[in-house]
Structure 1
Amino acid sequence: MKICFITTGDIKNIATAKRALGMANPLVDLGWNVSILMEDTEENRHRVSMECSNKVKVYYFPHCSAFQEIKAKNKLIKEIDPDFIYICAFVTRNTVGIGHRCKKLVEHSELQSGIPDMKGLRKIHAYINEYFSILYSDALLNASKYLQDVFKKRAKRILKGSMPMLYFPYAYSDGVMKVMEIDRNEPEYSKYKGRKIFVFLGSVVRGYGAFTMIEAMKKVKDKHPEALLLMLGRGGSYQEACDYVKEHKLDDNIFLPGFISEEDISMYFSLTDFFVSPMNDTVQDWARCPSKLYMYLPYRKPIITCKIGEPYNVLGKEGYYYEPSSSEGLANKMMELLENGKTSINVDPLKHEWKFRSGEFDRWIKYVSF
């Protein structure tokens, strides 16, 4: 069978293409003919070279207007003639393949209408787009249990209650997330000797807990000066966070290196003692699937997060949980880990690898009656 993944934008800014790159090789190994449509950017080409074998056919289109992008994608779909197209994010630029014989699979990884800042006409537009995805598609794949429940209810409302849906979380790639042996006595790592390291990877924005982590570390550092928080990534609050860390003399306990290339992530993750994955008690966070959570799993280190949505579904009793948005609660959990000597968790990472997810998809697609 032939499948074509439809993506948009630069993976550096729009992470939904990770699904296509992660599933491409495993699906090829399962006998699929796999194509990916991607915008022609330096980072996209780099990531394809890292993750995809030459058996995966990647078609690049130039950066252009939405209308031109849709036109370019439709032309490629006609040329490829897939049995399925997999829409990695249901946005205007990805509403393609209408009139083609292929089955349209739409993935939802977040609920736009549930974003707190989404108000007025923008919120109405988000609702319309979400309902339209049900009418447009032949099947939905939902990256969280919350999304699965929401779209099942909505499909029933518009008399499509029998349409196929799959609960389909994110995963990690074993070809990218490599566990390394790090010796802090080596010169290149000696600055971390004697430190206890917490790592966060993601967008440095208030809504994703950037300042909850910073405020927590302010509380932790006086009792545990050896604690170090590495906040890896950029985002709308990045410069504000850097200025705050400098102003409050937190430089020795918080490091914000900015964007981290995919090749360097394994080093930081192998170096760390604990991971942090902040969540908020909002519809947005209940619905979203934090892809970084799955990237943490192969390192088997304790993860501090909240009993919200996917993190709790994945970690269960193995997680370290604090009350959402509480810097004091986060600080207490950080100190608990610093003091109790816990060094690992018992969650099987292989059940959250793209190879495993691709097998689930392969079995589901063969079982589904469209």
Structure 2
Amino acid sequence: MTHRNHLVFLGLSGFPIGMAAIQRQRLIAKGLIENGWDVTVVCPRATHPENVKLKRVGRFEGIVYVYLFGPQRNKNFFIRNSQKLVAPFKEFCLLQRLKSKKGINAAIVSNRNSFTAAIKYRLVSWLLRFKLLINLVEIYKDREQTPLLLKVNDFFFNNFGLYFFDAFLPISEHIRDSFARFNKKNELIPIITDYDYINALPVITKREKPFFLFCGSASYLKSIRFIIEAFSLVKDREVELILVTNGSSAEMEVIHALIANKALKNRVIILKNIPEEELYSLYKTAKALLLPMFNTIQDTARFPHKMAEYLASGTIVISNPIGEVGKYLRNGKSALLSNVNDVIAFSEKMNWIMDNKNQVKEIAENGTVISRNNFDFKVLSMKMSVFLSSI
């Protein structure tokens, strides 16, 4: 019996609900299905609260997903830790069944560059005879306030991790070049989005006052602090700032303190856990979407998933020419790119937007073209399919 090509995603839980990593996984899978592949997402951990109604085994947009222990996180500490111990064996048995029934051509690992996971999945792929790839979206090196065990993991992964894989999928040229010494096959898959889906969504909310918007985890405190400082310098006192963010109580306390220190309580709105349709509606009606980047190893290497969504929404983006952002976008042509780490320059871009509506519209439209031509999953899926078939 001849099987269709079959790809399995490993190491990441939460599908189909989640932020950048899950959405990247979803869109790669969706594109491969359109090119004749079968795709299965294996979720090794139960991550969702009880109110999230997902089946243990289900299908989303044609993508089969399997939770080893069901999607809802168990409240019992002992049971949760028992599941961690059993998970590798249960995952291997599942992959063995999939290999027998459908065949497995390749698996993509997405797990924040874990060295121990690299060893584990190399052993599994060797026993079951399929190719093993890793999705690389960041470089974890010289991170501040990093626990010792994570530093040890980073050292071993950065120096030896790719020896355990047949190929890798870097999100940026910097990541590709950083791991070139391993001489592994690779295919650069940048940020990825569903342009037609975003474009078709209607505007369902309109705010009375104009606003700038940032969307991202509260863990990006450096970015949020920078944005609040820049916004405090904006001349138009009627414009608002919306922060779509969520995080730990400590992180949120810091953000509220930053707002209070700048006397911006009446002009900065914090939203969290809003429906996707409302979020995209805010994207489309904002004066500008904000995404500051800094001259660090992490920002140079990464390429924020949010940038693809921002550009696809048709709203102008203010950012900095760091890494892939500077490669794809041009200041005054397809985005507004400010001097790096310059709060005053960033705020001047915000002021310029309020006074130049016609030019803003043209730049935003050019940014949308960049997104559609370079980041849409339909554009990238054929390249991905050909690459997987070649390894």
TM norm structure 1: 0.85
* Structure 1 alignment gaps of length 5 or more: 156-160
Give the alignment of 1:60-139 within 5 angstroms.
60-62=67-69, 64-65=80-81, 66-81=84-99, 82-89=104-111, 90-91=113-114, 92-93=116-117, 95-96=120-121, 97-98=124-125, 99-118=127-146, 122-139=150-167
2:31 is aligned to 26
| Cα deviations by residue, 1:66-92 (Å, 9 ceiling, x for unpaired) | 443322322221111211001123324
Aligned equivalents of 1:46, 1:170: Cα separation in 2:
27
SS in structure 2 at match of 1:205: coil
1:334 is aligned to 350
The farther-off stretch of 206-215 and 277-286 is: 206-215
CA positional deviation for 1:181: 4.7
Structure 2: which amino acid aligns with 1:229? L
Give the alignment of 1:51-62 within 5 angstroms.
52-53=60-61, 55-62=62-69
Give the alignment of 1:209-220 within 5 angstroms.
209-220=223-234
Contact 1:304–1:322 at 8 Å: present in 2 too? yes
Contact 2:320–2:338 at 8 Å: present in 1 too? yes
1:272 is aligned to 286
- In structure 2, the CA distance between the partners of 1:214 and 1:21, relative to structure 1 (3 Å rule), is same
- In structure 2, the CA distance between the partners of 1:284 and 1:50, relative to structure 1 (3 Å rule), is farther
1:158 is aligned to none
Aligned equivalents of 2:180, 2:291: Cα separation in 1:
28
| Cα deviations by residue, 1:270-311 (Å, 9 ceiling, x for unpaired) | 221211111111001101121100111212221111110122
Aligned-residue CA RMSD (Å): 2.8
Give the alignment of 1:1-370 within 5 angstroms.
1-10=5-14, 15-38=20-43, 39-42=45-48, 52-53=60-61, 55-62=62-69, 64-65=80-81, 66-81=84-99, 82-89=104-111, 90-91=113-114, 92-93=116-117, 95-96=120-121, 97-98=124-125, 99-118=127-146, 122-153=150-181, 155=182, 161=183, 163-174=184-195, 177-182=198-203, 189=206, 192-193=207-208, 195-220=209-234, 223-236=235-248, 237-246=251-260, 248-317=262-331, 318-341=334-357, 342-343=360-361, 344-347=364-367, 348=369, 349-350=371-372, 351-366=374-389, 368=390, 370=391
2:76 is aligned to none
Aligned equivalents of 1:101, 1:23: Cα separation in 2:
22
SS in structure 2 at match of 1:3: strand
Aligned equivalents of 2:56, 2:260: Cα separation in 1:
37
CA positional deviation for 1:178: 4.4
CA positional deviation for 1:206: 5.0
CA positional deviation for 1:93: 5.0
**Aligned length in residues:** 351
| Cα deviations by residue, 1:301-341 (Å, 9 ceiling, x for unpaired) | 21111110122222234221223332222111111111222
Contact 1:4–1:36 at 8 Å: present in 2 too? yes
- In structure 2, the CA distance between the partners of 1:51 and 1:300, relative to structure 1 (3 Å rule), is farther
Structure 1: which amino acid aligns with 2:348? N
Contact 2:58–2:64 at 8 Å: present in 1 too? no
* Structure 2 alignment gaps of length 5 or more: 74-79
SS in structure 2 at match of 1:231: strand
Structure 2: which amino acid aligns with 1:177? I
Identity of aligned residues (%): 18
Contact 1:306–1:321 at 8 Å: present in 2 too? yes
Aligned equivalents of 1:263, 1:40: Cα separation in 2:
26
Aligned equivalents of 1:303, 1:320: Cα separation in 2:
6
TM norm structure 2: 0.81
Contact 1:217–1:253 at 8 Å: present in 2 too? no
Aligned equivalents of 2:95, 2:237: Cα separation in 1:
57
- In structure 2, the CA distance between the partners of 1:119 and 1:282, relative to structure 1 (3 Å rule), is farther
Aligned equivalents of 1:259, 1:325: Cα separation in 2:
29
- In structure 2, the CA distance between the partners of 1:36 and 1:119, relative to structure 1 (3 Å rule), is closer
SS in structure 2 at match of 1:219: coil
The farther-off stretch of 132-141 and 10-19 is: 10-19
SS in structure 2 at match of 1:230: strand
Contact 2:240–2:269 at 8 Å: present in 1 too? yes
Contact 2:218–2:246 at 8 Å: present in 1 too? yes
